[in-house]
Amino acid sequence: MNLITDNLLPILTTLFGGGFSLAYVFERKKNRAITKGVEADAETKTIQNENLVIAQLQKAVEDLPRIAESRFREMEEVLQKKIALLEDENKHLEVVFKRRVKLLEDENRVKSRMILSLKKEIKERDVKIKLLEKKG
């Protein structure tokens, strides 16, 4: 009995200490396996997400010609409308210009008549002044 009581502490330490070490080793292996599974799941999800991105990019690339053609048509329509508006404005400005030219020509004719009338009046006054100078 002395033998057991003297060695009780080393026996208990060996039994429980070794048990805890074995449990630690088995838990560690289990945790590593779980970690590898989680990493594999994460990698799978990453690959799936990348495949989704690739699919969306491919769809966008396939839609580019259609979108470009649509935008081109819209721009062409806008430019055609703008051209029509500018042509109308140009016609209007031509009419306004022709009216303005006609008004200026009429004004010049009136001024020319006034100048001729004034020259005639000046000659008549000069003649009157010369007659008055001769009388005087």
Task: For residue range 70-86, list pLDDT tens digits in order.
Answer: 999 999 999 999 999 99
Q: With a cut of 70, say whether residue 13 has pLDDT above it.
A: no
Task: Report the pLDDT value the prediction gives residue 94, as an integer from 0 to 100.
Answer: 97
Question: Mean pLDDT across the stretch 17-24?
Answer: 58
Q: Cα separation of 9 and 104, whole Å?
A: 129
Q: Cα separation of 77 and 59, whole Å?
A: 27
Phi (first) and psi of residue 7, to 5 degrees: -105, 10
Q: Tell me the two tokens of residue 27.
A: 């838990």
Q: Tell me the two tokens of residue 91.
A: 């016609």
User: pLDDT band at 89, cuts 50/70/90?
Assistant: very high
Task: For residue range 105-135, list pLDDT tens digits in order.
Answer: 999 999 999 999 999 999 999 999 999 888 8
User: pLDDT band at 33, cuts 50/70/90?
Assistant: confident
> What pTM does this model have?
0.46
